[in-house]
Structure 1
Amino acid sequence: MELPLWFEIATFVGLTVLLLADLAIVARRPHEPSVKEAGIWVAFYVSLALLFGLVVLAVSNGRYATEFYAGWLTEYSLSVDNLFVFVIIMARFQVPRKLQQEALMIGIIIALVLRGIFILLGAVVIERFVWVFYIFGVFLIYTAINLVRHRGDDEDYEENALIRRMRKVLPISKDYHGAKIRVTENGKKMWTPMVVVILALGTTDLIFALDSIPAIFGLTREPFIVFTANVFALMGLRQLYFLLGGLLKRLVYLSLGLAVILAFIGVKLILEAVHENQLPFAGDREPIESVPHIPIWLSLSIILGVLLIATVASLLKTRGEQPDDDTPAEVERGESPVSTEVTGRPAPTPGTAEETHRS
């Protein structure tokens, strides 16, 4: 049973309304959420994802529902790993903590739009060229090997070409002006560092999608399931950022668990391509029945099991350790000195920034 068209349209409308409402709430009152507030919102979005899977089960069949849960869990776990880099971006650009929520929200919306385009392109390519699964599979295995090799290395953030180009050609003010991205200083229109931060978050997430999108296509070929799994994984990411905070460093085995998951899905993709007997420029061939097919329920079980083991092992390993807070002191106080790497000019003296917040 296929997914009904009315259900897909209603889902897109509902998710759009939810995202716009979330953005409006953040824009009206930029602040740093408390642990309790962040926890409530994370629980809400996780419950919403679980409920959506049940609705998918009700309107279609168990296969689509299981594919959604497997895809959502994979994307969510990869997104948690990405939070490490988000923390580094916030610290590097010295974003005041009360402005970080809005920066994350807008950056995530940009990432969703870019991921949507990426997913549509991927679906078209896979529909016409199943052999691309060989490329996806090898890439995921390569990514898994790199995760293991560099597991103990310090995380670092490297600006992409778009951000480097922006800093060279755009007039950027020295200070943050609340959540505004455009201000007038001495009669001259200028961009604020917030626009660089937002684009850094959005485009960095798109780079992360280079492994997460192929991974979920290894679990389902339904573009609707791929996109909704990504949306539900990213929607609660902003609150999760504030909820976990320094606890992120306690998840010492998360990257190892993700490496196992990516390697497993990479092997699954290659087996799928071999099973369908698809090779570049070889034309259509009869499927090879002797090649094993990994059912989606087994994929979901392995993903759940690996994440559970990695999380429990991490918490046991770091038991008794205090979470670190790497946020610079001036950022914690709400001041906003911006490094010369953002504006191209010396940073102002702490405490001189005049922030104008949205009413």
Structure 2
Amino acid sequence: MMSMAPTWLWLVFVAFVLAALFVDFVVLKKQGAHEVSVPEAIRWSAIWVALSFAFNGLLWWAFAQEQGTAVANTKALEFLTGYLIEKSLAVDNIFVFLMIFTYFAVPPAYQKRVLMIGIIGAIVLRTVMILIGGWLIAQFHWILYLFGAFLFFTGVKMWWAADKESNLEDNPALKLLRRVLPVTKHFDGENFWTVQNGVKVATPLLLVVALVGFTDVIFAVDSIPAIYAITSDPFIVLTSNIFAILGLRAMYFLLAAMAAKFHLLSYGLALILVFIGTKMMLIDIYKIPVLVSLGVVIGILAITMVWSVKTAPKIERSAH
């Protein structure tokens, strides 16, 4: 499956991702372990969103120069729709990350490094899975129906489980890790390993990183078929996915502070998955326009977020 994107645009994208990760690492190292404040999270979230839109502008210009305005409009719209879908599905990742950090009582100052490692793992993993997914779709068109059915039933399952408490203790990955690795009960700064009674043992932070990586794998299985429902262009699939992931760390600290206000968001994400799965299963009968898909995604997100805020549990203030 080939992309119409010019070679230089691929190179710009790769250079940008490498530069973004380098800057992130430099800032991370310079700041050291510290708790990310809400204003800082808002600032970085705004920067990542602005950079994503700027890249989409460059993408539009590149396609307009080589393929014409009509193709450029379509590709830019596909990128925007894919970006919003991946960004919205990333919200579910964030709630799982929050559950993991809460379960292990990870100090906020150490969470930043864990998320950075998780983002790098997600970029590598999704790049591989996108290339494999593109090859499968090119070779076996019928696999789109399987992807669609998988997303549809995943959405139904997510809706059913939205109001149920998750129990991390039952997680098979966590049980396996504890069986294989000797783990201390205490953190040792940002270290993944420490020495206890003369023996090298893992810290809880290593388990957290492993579970975050496992979560990335699970959610990549959902999100990559979702983007292929919008476009079959591997360049659009890859870039929209990676740009959504790059801002994940800042978005985590922002949403973690407002998790209670968006308690209905899981229902909205479930509806989005059901819609995308239906769109994929109908692809050879009726191709839903990208603009309609964009409108549906934005509409569902807006309604569930507004409804969440309106019905958010009120925190009672103690009288003094």
Residue deviations 1:213-272 (CA, integer Å, cap 9, x gap): 111111111222222222221222212222222421221331222222211211111122
Residue 299 of structure 1 corresponds to: 293
Deviation, 1:192, is: 2.4
Q: Is contact 1:85–1:156 with CA below 8 Å preserved after alignment? A: no
The code of the aligned residue for 1:36 comes to P
Q: Find the partner of 2:161 among 143, 150, 155.
A: 150
| Greater fraction helix | 2
The code of the aligned residue for 1:170 comes to L
Residue 34 of structure 2 corresponds to: 31
Separation (CA, whole Å) in 2 of partners of 1:123 and 1:159: 34
Deviation, 1:102, is: 0.8
Counterparts of 1:210-249 in structure 2 under 5 Å? 210-249=221-260
Q: Find the partner of 1:44 among 19, 42, 47.
A: 47
Q: Is contact 2:93–2:215 with CA below 8 Å preserved after alignment? A: no
Residue 278 of structure 2 corresponds to: 267
Q: Is contact 1:111–1:203 with CA below 8 Å preserved after alignment? A: no
SS in structure 2 opposite 1:183? strand
Matched, 1:314 2:311: no
Separation (CA, whole Å) in 2 of partners of 1:46 and 1:192: 34
For structure 1, which segment, 65-74 or 176-185, has the greater mean C-alpha deviation from structure 2 after superposition? 176-185
Deviation, 1:79, is: 0.8
Q: Is contact 2:38–2:257 with CA below 8 Å preserved after alignment? A: no
SS in structure 2 opposite 1:189? strand
Separation (CA, whole Å) in 2 of partners of 1:162 and 1:259: 24
Deviation, 1:37, is: 0.9
Matched, 1:94 2:120: no
Going from structure 1 to structure 2, the CA distance change for 1:70 and 1:159 (only over 3 Å counts) comes to farther
Q: Is contact 2:155–2:270 with CA below 8 Å preserved after alignment? A: yes
Unaligned runs of 5+ in 2: 64-71
Going from structure 1 to structure 2, the CA distance change for 1:268 and 1:300 (only over 3 Å counts) comes to same
Counterparts of 1:182-197 in structure 2 under 5 Å? 182-185=193-196, 187-197=198-208
What percent of counterpart residues are identical? 39
SS in structure 1 opposite 2:258? helix
Q: Find the partner of 2:23 among 10, 21, 24.
A: 21
Unaligned runs of 5+ in 1: 276-290, 324-359
The code of the aligned residue for 1:57 comes to W
Residue deviations 1:190-231 (CA, integer Å, cap 9, x gap): 332222111111111210122111111111112222222222
Counterparts of 1:121-160 in structure 2 under 5 Å? 121-157=132-168
Report which of the two structures shows the higher radius of gyration computed on alpha carbons. Answer: 1
The code of the aligned residue for 2:306 comes to V
Deviation, 1:168, is: 2.3
Residue 3 of structure 1 corresponds to: 5
Residue deviations 1:297-317 (CA, integer Å, cap 9, x gap): 221122112211221121122
Going from structure 1 to structure 2, the CA distance change for 1:209 and 1:159 (only over 3 Å counts) comes to farther
TM-score by length of 2: 0.88
TM-score by length of 1: 0.79
How large is the RMSD of aligned CA atoms in angstroms?
2.0
Q: Is contact 1:99–1:179 with CA below 8 Å preserved after alignment? A: yes
Separation (CA, whole Å) in 2 of partners of 1:172 and 1:258: 35
Q: Find the partner of 2:121 among 95, 104, 110.
A: 110
